[in-house]
Amino acid sequence: MPATLPDRLAAPAAADATTLDQGFAAPSGRRSGAGTAALAVSEAQRSERLARMRAGELGSVHSWELVTAVDGPGTRMTVFLAGCPLRCLYCHNPDTWQMRAGEPIEAQEILARLRRYRKVFAATGGGLTLSGGEVLMQPAFAARLLAGAKAMGVHTCLDTSGYLGAACTDEMLDDVDLVLLDIKAGDEQTHRRVTGRPLAPTLAFGQRLAAAGIRVWVRFVLVPGVTDDPDNIRKVAEHAAAIGTLERVEVLPFHQMGRDKWDALGLDYALTDVAPPTDEQWSAACEQFRRLGLPVGGNPAGVSR
């Protein structure tokens, strides 16, 4: 079961780098950016704010950053949206869980900044990545950002667990070039233990992406004693292999870099005594994916970028 959480951080009621040939180095655990510096915070009052959030004009943003060789190909502007329905035991960013903890930022504010980097994106094959938290907690805002990016000719990527895939409209998918899909466990019991939520919505979203012809990179975090059972890994590999548009799999070694945030938030961190996987454990997990013919990357050092 997930760590015990204070009420203010409890999940909302049901969900209403190893470099490969792409030159992309996957972080073993993605940390959110430094904040919303350089983005103007909206002055909208509460009632107006809610209406504008529903329309997607305004979003709750945890942070953003400009990165190279993480979160997708090339140099990318990654925006971390606030709010997440999962409570992963190994979460590196528990400060993104609550939507109300983010800053209200106009979609146009983000798109204006994105516009400044268009030449960089074009030169590096980069673009916009929406991450979190869970990007699909704010589908209208995400849709507006994706549409704005595509209108500029900018490559787009979603970094998501897929748990809220049903909130992603077909129109929104039309504006998505690549999805980094986290499959956090291969079987239902392990998935619920790791995230507190069922696995089926993630798998359904993967199938929908394939049917829509959207490229997918699957990410799996290897946590000794939690997700490293060979049977669980085999099932993750089978789920990944079933996605017809899968391009690669990243096996990301668990590490302790998120622990300070759990401590700062007063959360009960369940993985205090868990060591990162050894190189041998990581290699064995990768081999399980390769046996199904899947291209595998990751970071055997277990160190984030």
- Per-residue mark of binding to ligand SF4, 93-112 (x: CB under 6 A): x--x----------------
- Per-residue mark of binding to ligand SF4, 230-249 (x: CB under 6 A): --------------------
Tell me which residues in 26-85 interact with ligand SF4 (CB under 6 A). Answer: 84
Identify the residue among 62, 87, 197, 235 touching ligand SF4 (CB under 6 A).
Answer: 87
- Per-residue mark of binding to ligand SF4, 154-173 (x: CB under 6 A): -------x------------
297 lies in the site for ligand SF4, by CB under 6 A: no
Cβ-based nearer residue to ligand SF4, 42 or 93: 93
Q: Which stretch binds ligand SF4 (CB under 6 A): 100-108, 131-139, 149-157, 284-292?
A: 131-139
132 lies in the site for ligand SF4, by CB under 6 A: yes
183 lies in the site for ligand SF4, by CB under 6 A: no
| Backbone torsions φ then ψ of 185, nearest 5 degrees | -165, 160
Cβ-based nearer residue to ligand SF4, 88 or 146: 88
138 lies in the site for ligand SF4, by CB under 6 A: no
Cβ-based nearer residue to ligand SF4, 173 or 252: 252
**Chain positions contacting ligand SF4, by CB under 6 A:** 84, 86-88, 91, 93, 96, 132-134, 161
